[in-house]
Structure 1
């Protein structure tokens, strides 16, 4: 009888203890006041998936997340928890626990016959890397970006629980260290060409202001992101300099680029002054309607070559020759040709005139 009474008392005490523990858990999860958060943050909370009438099962316990900036000017912050712990319901085991930040899975922990899963803080050191964000990214001028997180757990009974919330990181400003400038190196008058400036590193704090100083143009200032593209055209040929200055809150950099602008070649024509008598010189001339910085190269039709807009050449045999001139500049080339005629010289015969003199003597 005493044994039965003792056993009954023990059962009652155990039940009371379990109810006390359950009440404490419920009080911590639902009755405790929410920690203070700043504007833009989601208060930490818990959710349970499955039958709402099921007893309290999987339970995630983790201190409030914090975001730290270990080294400035690199836009690298870390979200940390002191520890993470999951406890399964009665007769169940923890299968897994996962951490997602901004909707992307960042860590996964698996278990086998574990009634609880505890992840020490040193296993997460230095934490989960995120972008700090520039000042004002969260809506507050002195703070950076706000990141949401969800810590999920699953047990063998198929029931799940989650701890979720968000944390705001310290602001960080990353100075730009350099800027590159890309674009064509040769162009035509009257044609617009794009030039792109790109700042480095890729974590440079935005916005970036680009000041364009370009030959023949007034200074153009724009505010863009990691890169900026502008188009420029010129009406006159020549060497043109493009200079861009990129500036953000902590740094600036310069880059330059040169483009050679040419007038396209048009209307090439070739002429000569033949027919030319064999042994005499032939003059060949090339002209263009338009074009800048041009060169002329000739193939004279007899195997000889020459350069320049005016060529003087002596052909060694009579005949018909096709002379071809190629006009070049950095934009391309065009050709024209002319027909040269070389003729034999005219020979005039001389016959002495014989006259009879009165005396019968022939005289020339």
Structure 2
């Protein structure tokens, strides 16, 4: 524990010595006040800007600290002018810097020169001091003074009217303090009731869906029906729903545009496939009803695969058949690639294309017809 007791010698006289420092012949600041009789006090001084030392021509940066002798050298009106003398740490040369209260800055008066670095105080967030009015010796402009006085009087009149209106309104509002306090407390009760109802609904939602403490109560609050907040949420919901429908329409428009570019029409393809399946099913039923016949030979069967025309030569018939078969093959290949590369196609459509046996059989039949027609 630090001791606060002091030893007073027997020959200590408080009227003569005043204090123990006076009795021992010491100053309270110690070595810092060894020149106090000359008005000099040693303080820690920090350079306010960059300087060049005149003794060693060395550069000393801003913020370097020295033990400087602080002394009062004059006054600017009632503000003292202080002088700070210290030795350069590189060459031990004497440097002196004084305060300039008139321009609110420091001035190098001996042993060094300031490094000139121009900067705008307004750009650096400093206070700009205008000394033009204090240093100007020209007489004031009487017309400018008159205009300023008239402007100030007009502004005072307008503000006085506004202030009187505000005072009147305040007096009318608080003419009956009990009624005003009752209305204020009633509004507080209404707001509290709404808040408690919202919190109860939020807790009900939490218990209904077993959300626990994972979601805050503020996120589960729902407004009461018929309130302004509920109407606002309804409008926002309708707005979001409309945006979603517009997005779906835009997606459908892009899909139709892409289908038109690849030359595929889903409705026609589906109708043709359904008609083909129906005709195949009808022929199989008819064949089951008709009596069985002997199967033709392989040569007759191969000849029956090639269609014949009674009105045109065989060469023209084969060319027309091959061209129609090639067109059919190309259309089916384009349809398959379009469905495969369509970004809007559903996975069922892509899977159905790979599993459809009728389309693969149709493609193989078209290829066989083309090969035989070329032969």
The higher-RCO structure (CA 8 Å, 6+ apart) is: 1
Band the TM-score falls in, shorter-chain normalisation: under 0.3
TM-score normalised by structure 1 residue count: 0.19
TM-score normalised by structure 2 residue count: 0.19
Q: Counting strand residues as a fraction of each chain, which structure ranks higher?
A: 1
